[in-house]
Amino acid sequence: MTPNNTVSTDAVLQYLQNLQSKIVEALELVDGKTFLHDSWNRPEGGGGTSCLLEGGNVFERAGVGFSHVLGNKLPPAATIAHPEAAGRAWEAMGVSLVLHPRNPYVPTVHMNIRFFVAKAPVKTDTTELISSRDLGASQGGKYESEQTAHQVRQAIENAANAGAAPKADEDIWWFGGGMDLTPYYGFEEDCTHFHRTNKSALDTFDLSYYPQFKKQCDEYFYLKHRKEPRGIGGIFFDDFNVLSFEQSFALQRAVGDSFLQAYLPILQRRKDTPYTENERDFQAYRRGRYVEFNLVFDRGTLFGLQSNGRTESILMSMPPIVKWRYDWKPEKDSPEAKLYTDFLIDREWV
């Protein structure tokens, strides 16, 4: 992580709230119906606004959620990747969306950008570092015993000797996010456009980011038990803090701001394509893969549930109509089979 950063959670918070509003307004213009706005509070700290459209003209279900949650102890989904942040007070904020169009020729899309900070412990003197969550645990905000203080100092020293500890008086922060496309009937021009837009958003920062983030997306959105990708990918990044805070935040904004440019042209091109119940049936079958991934592998879902997030908001990404079939296979050379042979493969799109 680049040193000497000034972290501005307020700037990130304002950007995310504005992004949610911008995307919802754009989608309402396309669909012709209005999103439900449901604001909520989290008892442990924070809250958010879930914007949902169900039974729309274009979207069978569309959810665009903003959340800003706080806590005193990181849930397991976060501490696995960041053991150095264990025991710290934390804040997490983000915008996450999933759009499930009615027309099976329009792909489902997912986008998420997020920011996480584990707060630096409060320094009480040159030798003791107390996490802000511990202040007030004993009268006057001091340790109840010298033994406890010694244990904390020893733990910090052991971690430092192991080379695993960050500077104890700094916030630990990172950005994450990305977007991915899940077609049911694939079109090469759509996939190329989506990936080209992703690449353009990242090339300003470093030409290596798009191939790196594309690879991470392909690896992340992979159903190991099915041995197949969820869709045609996009970009995915997590634990990103290799640039300064300002530059990392700028990269996140570039990704968030490019979403409508990446998806709306595809939506407009396919939303009026004629279809039959056969195509709808295949769409419902493939949506099952979406459900399997979200409930088994998705880190955001697991983090939300483990941190006592709002269940309705966490699960609003789920498609409204889903089907499973036992050992079903598409007919050879059919449009459904083409999805597997031409699109759900390891492939470079730009």
**Residues annotated catalytic, as ranges:** 110
Separation of alpha carbons 110 and 341, rounded Å = 23
130 neighbors 143 (Cβ within 8 angstroms): yes
Q: Which of 262, 199, 195, 264 is nearest to 232 (CA)?
A: 195
Q: Which of 269, 120, 108 is nearest to 193 (CA)?
A: 269
Q: Which of 256, 304, 200 is nearest to 15 (CA)?
A: 256
Residue the block writes with tokens 């960041």: 82
Q: How far is CA 105 from CA 2, 56, 134, 336, 343, in A?
A: 44, 16, 54, 11, 14
Separation of alpha carbons 298 and 66, rounded Å = 17
Q: How far is CA 53 from CA 99, 183, 215, in A?
A: 9, 20, 32
Separation of alpha carbons 138 and 32, rounded Å = 57
Separation of alpha carbons 38 and 47, rounded Å = 11
Question: E strand or H helix at 198, and its extent?
Answer: helix 188-203
Residue the block writes with tokens 């050992």: 327
Q: What is the largest CA-CA distance in the chain?
A: 74
Residues contacting 136, CB < 8 A, separation 6+: none
Q: Which two tokens stand for residue 1?
A: 């992580």
